[in-house]
Structure 1
Amino acid sequence: MATATETSTAPPTFAENHMNDVPSSLPSTSNPYQAAREALDRDGFVVLPASLFPTFDLASLRDAASTLTASARSGKWPYIRTLPKQFPPWPSKPGEHGIWGVQHLMHPLNPSHATFARSYFDAELLKYVSVLIGCSEEDLTMELYNMLVRPDGEFALRWHRDDIPPEASDVEELERLGKPGFHAQWNLALYDDASLVVVPGSHKRARTSFERSADPYEPNMPGQLVVKLQAGEVAFYNNNILHRGVYDPTKERMTLHGSIGTTLGSSERARNVLQHGVGAWAKEYDFEDFEPAMRERARAMREALVEMGKSSGEVGFYSKDE
């Protein structure tokens, strides 16, 4: 979902990047939804405690995640993110380098699709999403639900903004950063995780001269912060905050990586979403196994995604890195 191209610069090790680890806190207020919105607006990210999402069943999610990850590593599940590629499109087989992500958790061919979908369409999660986007729940659009897993070898993502190319000028950056995001993006950690590295506040400004000239894998970006998550916690973050991922190949990782949009910005989100191929199967999903209220929500959000696909046509890819 980003726009940079591959580089031959070798990524630093996991240990070299875990510096300046500072916990994030949610402001104290009588309105937790507004507090989350204020923190996201101010810092570019916010960590919500697991206690806010009592219906998340971590044991079931871990079982489903483990089964699907095993299928992906063995080549039986074709929707994967392969090393050393950071951006889509990815091949359908792990190859010699293995994987770092599993795509399309809610695909109807996944036997555990309903387990993942229930967390994606969770009523409390959707309340936070609608407030963070600034729209009504009726305007929400189904987008993506993928999983970031322990890579099969040393791997890190470059510093990037998801929706702004690295060659953008200061003026171009500020112009894009001044526009609404029209979506909410989050990580739900099934195990303790410290892989996301951000520069707080960078979603509101152009890059500094140091950030522009820094190595793509710079291990000590000024002001960087490692977002530490305990199992069950949810980190929402602005996808145009300056960020990267640094992964420990020796530690289990299964982090659900989701995004939900709004019909108010379908044209702005089309390529970011549809380049992942979700449109190829979303219209087949009927949500029959869900309780009525969730089924109604899910179907409405699915229809909004299908409509996005119909009106957008061929969207291509933001990046075709080799």
Structure 2
Amino acid sequence: MTSASTIPPKAELRNALDRDGFVRIPRAFAAADIERFKAAATHATSLARAGKWPYVRTVPKQFPPWPVSDISQHGIWGVQHLLHPSLSPQDRKVFAESYFGPVMIHAVTSILDCSADDLVMELYNMLVCPPRDFALRWHRDDIGPDVSAEAELARLREPLVHAQWNLALYPDSSLVVVSGSHKRARTESERNADPFEDDMPTQFVVRMEPGDIVFYNNNILHRGVYDSKSERMTLHGTMGLAGADPARSRNILQHGIGSWAKQCDFSDLPGGMAELAGDMQYRLIAMGDGVESGFSQAE
């Protein structure tokens, strides 16, 4: 596994994320690691597209829940729950090593300015190319489009209690952000723009190469634009801080992770990774099962 020494200094990461709302870490993982991740990702994606893995994101639906019945008719744009205990043991272990390994843990603790003992296991999914060109509307992950400017700004001023990232396994330019929008309410032009506007003022296309990680504030104004002709497998994860507020719990538990988190067994992970994973799993379980948590966005 690539050494955590590939991660830039803490201050550099935090300053960029605070200033722009996103930060790219180039070549965080070596080519050999990416090949291992690709093999597991290819297998998991094949199962999902064949309807043999029920945890997916279906086209054209943007937010959960995603009905399994849509797989055969509409296809998928994401594979959910890469740490699920029913995934093949070989693939789950590869995904777990990429999630709990020293590179990602070092990057996340740098960004959140915390120790590994503060971290909570959250989501680990994968974004894949859909069967037809497909785009998400402009959004903030946990702030709806109809809130007032005052309420929006109040939410944006809340402290950062999680890290969210994309880890590219193929060249990827799907993520489009409005730089700096994580620190301000939307402008009138942004509020009145077409939800699928292709040329939002100050938008920035985040271009990634295999092995790059992009961390971004999930409440930055952003969207995804997916090209069906370009292979895409991008690992999409989050980690949180213990003791976060109920809004964060809802944002995570709405994906259904609470229904299987207790069944995970990470004892096959190498070294201290197994103990770390077990501790992070325990903190997730303490958040509840999410049965009545509701959803962050209506669709």
Compute the TM-score of the two structures, normalised by the length of structure 2.
Answer: 0.93
Q: How many residues align?
A: 290
The answer to whether structure 1 residue 59 and structure 2 residue 35 are counterparts is: yes
Runs of 4+ aligned residues of structure 1 deviating over 4 Å after TM superposition are none
Letter of the 1:48 partner, please give it. Answer: I
Residue in 2 that maps onto 1:89:
65
Distance 1:96 1:31, change over 3 A: closer
SS at match of 1:188: strand
Percent identity for Structure 1 against Structure 2: 55
SS at match of 1:319: coil
**How big is the shift at 1:107?**
0.7
Q: Provide, for residues 3-47 of structure 1, a one-character-per-residue CA deviation record: whole Å limited to 9, x for no partner.
A: xxxxxxxxxxxxxxxxxxxxxxxxxxx962220111000000000
1:195 touches 1:246 (CA, 8 Å); kept in 2? yes
Hey, what's the Cα distance between the residues in 1 that align with 2:206 and 2:226?
13
Distance 1:89 1:49, change over 3 A: same
Hey, what's the Cα distance between the residues in 2 that align with 1:115 and 1:317?
30
Residue in 2 that maps onto 1:270:
249
Bigger mean CA deviation after superposition, 267-276 or 241-250: 267-276
Which of 103, 126, 137 lines up with 1:124 in the alignment?
103
Which of 205, 208, 231 lines up with 1:229 in the alignment?
208
Distance 1:82 1:31, change over 3 A: closer
Q: Which segments of 5 or more consecutive residues in structure 2 lack a partner in the other structure?
A: 1-6
Q: Provide, for residues 186-210 of structure 1, a one-character-per-residue CA deviation record: whole Å limited to 9, x for no partner.
A: 0000000000000000000010111
Residue in 2 that maps onto 1:101:
78
**How big is the shift at 1:221?**
0.2
Hey, what's the Cα distance between the residues in 2 that align with 1:48 and 1:319?
29
Letter of the 1:64 partner, please give it. Answer: A
Q: Provide, for residues 266-308 of structure 1, a one-character-per-residue CA deviation record: whole Å limited to 9, x for no partner.
A: 5331110001011111111111211130001100000000001
**How big is the shift at 1:181?**
2.6
Hey, what's the Cα distance between the residues in 2 that align with 1:293 and 1:302?
14
Distance 1:135 1:268, change over 3 A: farther
2:142 touches 2:297 (CA, 8 Å); kept in 1? no
SS at match of 1:90: coil
Q: Superposition pairs for residues 293-308 of structure 1, below 5 Å?
A: 293-308=272-287
Which of 189, 194, 198 lines up with 1:210 in the alignment?
189
SS at match of 2:139: coil
Q: CA RMSD in A?
A: 1.6
Residue in 1 that maps onto 2:4:
none
The answer to whether structure 1 residue 72 and structure 2 residue 51 are counterparts is: no
Residue in 1 that maps onto 2:179:
200
Hey, what's the Cα distance between the residues in 1 that align with 2:19 and 2:297?
29
